[in-house]
Structure 1
Amino acid sequence: MLSNSSRRSFLQSCAAAAITVGGLQRLTQHAPAISPIERNGIPKFKFSLAAYSYRNLLTGNSPELTLSDFIVDCANMGLEGTELTSYYFPVPTSNSYLRELKHQCFQFGLGVSGTAVGNDFGFLPGKERDEQISMTKAWIDRAEVLGAPVIRIFAGKQKPGVNPKHSHALMVEGIEECCEYAGLHGVHLALENHGGPTATVDGMLEFVQDVKSPWFGVNLDTGNFYTEDPYLDLARIAPYSLNVQVKVVTSDEARENKRPTDFRRLGQILRDANYRGYVALEYEEEGDPRQECPKYLDIIRESFA
């Protein structure tokens, strides 16, 4: 990724990314917060599956599957990558275990597309904040061992008695501290649009603007903007995306009416943003993920072709 100054140097006044609504239209009323990530070549998609899709199979007193089993399934689905969510690793997690998974992935022709942590940088200085930062740094170390190029992170939640401006500053500070550490290990941190201060595209772009690190970017989650037309918002953050997680539905503001994801429109948004990287299916619906994920991956591949 380019340095922070380089990212700002060229496209400050560009229009937001193009979107597709039937025919191709241009969304010109919003300018990017900073220059988009500059990439060479043409858009390129590699496909992965998030272990969160198997959450009910990987958890419980007697889990039905292990992460090793999940990796086998990813290989059987013909994927280029596997996203190994931190929630499903044994505690404690040893480096020898990480290397076993890395070895298995390599033998099966899979890259570790990334991992994900459930951090919260909204705490005031003190024990809880220190624990969150320490946990994130520990997973940066583990991502380096795994060979994972990116970790999906959260901003956190605004705490009682903390005003929004101060809360935002706390989160930015926590992200920057962890990005500095991540850069020393060759790992990127990608902030997900995931409720709270990142529930809206404007909230996300505040972090894009304020976090000063070349190791920082966006984890674009296609199901987490709850509006009548979330694709307008996805188009605005797509130019800053380091990783993409695709849901099979979107929802309106009430979160009551689920709509099938328009995969073709989504693919066009990423092409217009010149995205090059992993696109990970994150299946959250009620069906059996071992049956449903291969079906949706076939649809996504066709739609993104």
Structure 2
Amino acid sequence: MSRHESLSRRSFLRGAAAGGALLGLGSGFSLRGSLALGAEVTGKPKPGKIGDFKISLAEWSLHKALFAKKLDNLDFPKVAREEFGIEGVEYVNQFFKDKAHDSAYLKDLKKRADDHGVTNVLIMIDGEGDLSAPEKAARGQAVENHKKWVDAAAALGCHAIRVNTGSHYSKSDVANAAEACSALADYGVKHKIHVICENHGGPSSDPDALLALIKAVNNPSFGTLPDFGNFPKADGKYAIDVYDAIARMMPHAHGVSAKSYDFNDKGEESNLDFARIMKIVTDAGYHGFVGIEYEGGGLGEAEGIKATKKLLESLRGSEYRG
């Protein structure tokens, strides 16, 4: 038995065990990604109604204000609710990097979210090492570095952390990355925290590579966070079919990131067909949080967030005509 075959078998057994354990963990830690019975998920969805979903705010949408110290991470839930009328928040660890094990800080942050009726959805993790590093010791250190954020997510009442899967794997070589991600996913299960992978540059933005990793780990708590826009471009245009890529990622999704850049005079996103994407999301049986992540330059951060929210709200329950 090869190392990869051995890993795949261990991952399968681990995933089966995790699946049995997760069935009792409640709606906040569901197997929706692997058990949903939606319509056929395709990048060319059939006409029909776009389903219901909740809206959250990715903290990166306000990164300019945060880096400029015009906004503090502790006030993020309040701003999400009072300025934007948004009920869920997605944190970025860069804005409280030294607080992962600061119980007083996390308790304060959770109380502020609770006081404003805001759900802590997930934490996006950056800068904690390459989970696909060629050296086993480096991969192991990256796993250990990420564990503290699993702990923080659990303390905040989140359901997931978003990880970067690293730069040293491909669709035909996922064994090292799968080994590390499996270890982290196992730790996540113990704390009722999903570990999810965004298409976030490098191999992760290649759906073939990312889905090969998901398959190799084979753990229902290890899934995807499809981002509408983070796919490779050439000459200013997407180099792959982003709608097909999102459709392939959605059956494994434990979150959705509504990336937006610019808007036309009808309020539509100029680069991406949001209606088509949200019908893909619906067909996958997903009804959880869809996180606003505005990254444009044409509007200020607040205006971009509001424009994205308005667009998403207009699509909820609407008819997609194809």
Report deviation, 1:167.
Answer: 5.7
> What secondary structure does 1:142 align onto?
helix
Report deviation, 1:204.
Answer: 1.8
Q: Look up the equivalent residue of 2:250 and give its one-letter code.
A: A
> What secondary structure does 1:260 align onto?
coil
Report deviation, 1:291.
Answer: 2.4
Q: Which runs of 5+ in 1 are unaligned?
A: 26-41, 251-257
Q: Distance in 2 between matches of 1:246 and 1:146?
A: 23
- Work out whether 1:143 is the aligned partner of 2:153: yes
Question: Contact 2:54–2:290 (CA<8 Å) still a contact in 1?
Answer: yes
Question: Contact 2:226–2:257 (CA<8 Å) still a contact in 1?
Answer: yes
State which of 55, 64, 68 in structure 1 corresponds to 2:63.
Answer: 55
User: Residue 98 of structure 2 corresponds to which residue in structure 1?
Assistant: 91
Decide which moves more: 92-101 or 235-244: 92-101
User: Residue 54 of structure 2 corresponds to which residue in structure 1?
Assistant: 46
Identity percentage of aligned residues: 28
User: Residue 246 of structure 2 corresponds to which residue in structure 1?
Assistant: 234
User: Residue 71 of structure 2 corresponds to which residue in structure 1?
Assistant: 65
State the Cα deviation string for residues 118-171 of structure 1 (Å, max 9, x = none).
24212233554343212210000000000010111111012xxxx858962111
> What secondary structure does 1:242 align onto?
coil
Q: Look up the equivalent residue of 1:144 and give its one-letter code.
A: A
Q: Look up the equivalent residue of 1:213 and give its one-letter code.
A: N
Matched residue count: 269
State which of 47, 63, 66 in structure 2 corresponds to 1:24.
Answer: 47
- Work out whether 1:106 is the aligned partner of 2:109: no
Question: Contact 1:16–1:235 (CA<8 Å) still a contact in 2?
Answer: no
Q: Distance in 2 between matches of 1:272 and 1:171?
A: 30
> What secondary structure does 1:207 align onto?
helix
User: Which one has a larger percent helix, Structure 1 or Structure 2?
Assistant: 2
Report deviation, 1:207.
Answer: 1.4
TM-score (norm 2): 0.75
Structure 1's 128 and 208: CA in aligned 2 closer, same or farther, altered over 3 A?
closer
User: Residue 274 of structure 1 corresponds to which residue in structure 2?
Assistant: 285
What is the alpha-carbon root mean square deviation over aligned residues?
2.8
Structure 1's 217 and 131: CA in aligned 2 closer, same or farther, altered over 3 A?
same
Structure 1's 164 and 298: CA in aligned 2 closer, same or farther, altered over 3 A?
closer
> What secondary structure does 1:210 align onto?
helix
Q: Distance in 1 between matches of 2:185 and 2:97?
A: 25
Q: Distance in 2 between matches of 1:18 and 1:126?
A: 37
Report deviation, 1:242.
Answer: 0.3
User: Residue 182 of structure 2 corresponds to which residue in structure 1?
Assistant: 176
User: Residue 283 of structure 1 corresponds to which residue in structure 2?
Assistant: 294
Report deviation, 1:90.
Answer: 5.0
User: Residue 211 of structure 2 corresponds to which residue in structure 1?
Assistant: 205
Structure 1's 285 and 165: CA in aligned 2 closer, same or farther, altered over 3 A?
closer
Report deviation, 1:102.
Answer: 0.6
Structure with more relative contact order (C-alpha pairs < 8 Å, separation 6 or more): 2
Question: Contact 1:19–1:268 (CA<8 Å) still a contact in 2?
Answer: no
Decide which moves more: 241-250 or 50-59: 241-250
Q: Distance in 2 between matches of 1:209 and 1:127?
A: 24
Report deviation, 1:16.
Answer: 5.5
Structure 1's 20 and 249: CA in aligned 2 closer, same or farther, altered over 3 A?
farther
